[in-house]
Amino acid sequence: MKVEAWVFGAVAGFFAVVTPIYWFLSADPTGTSALVMTTLLGALVAFYLYVVAQQIDARPEDRGRAEVADGAGELGFFPPYSWWPLYTSLALAVMVLGVVFGWWLFIIGAGLGAIALVGFVYEYYRGFHAH
């Protein structure tokens, strides 16, 4: 994670240099505040990754003498195909269209979205992929 911390630190440093230049050249308070927030966000992520890198053992990617076999093994749980993201996005589309055409459509979309979200969250508790 040390490499990732350096990358985000470089991003924060870049925006820390660019922000005052932008402010002096444009005198735009909106863009300047956005650049300041981008700088702070990059610094926040870099700080978090640096602290976590100090607390955990070095990963194979962080060690200079690591072998490819050191990174072998189970990497985690990756879900199989799922239709619930499609249903959730369709419900969100109905909600957005509800803001345009009428609140009654938004309420229908919110109801469908609640059903889709519950199905999305609990899809691994029942059915073929239950565990």
Mean per-residue pLDDT, 87-110? 96
Segment 42-53 mean pLDDT: 94
Does the pLDDT value for residue 131 go beyond 90? Answer: no
Based on the domain organization, do 93 and 114 belong to the same domain? yes
Answer yes or no: is 117 within a domain. yes
Instruction: Grade residue 125 by pLDDT with cuts at 50, 70 and 90.
Output: confident
Mean pLDDT of 96-110: 95
Residue 90's contacts (CB-CB under 8 Å, 6 or more residues apart) are 112, 116
Cα–Cα distance for residue pair 119/32, rounded to 1 Å: 43
What is the pTM (predicted TM-score) of this model?
Answer: 0.57
Q: Rounded CA gap, 85 and 116, in Å?
A: 8
Determine phi and psi for 80, rounding to 5 degrees. -75, -170
Q: Side chain identity at 92, as an amino acid letter?
A: L
In a domain, 127, yes or no: no
Q: How many CB atoms lie within 10 A of CB 99?
A: 11
Tell me the mean pLDDT in the region 6-29. Answer: 96
Cα distance between residue 39 and residue 33, in whole Å:
10
User: Is 26 a domain residue?
Assistant: yes
Domain that holds residue 9: 2-71
Position 77 pLDDT exceeds 80 = no
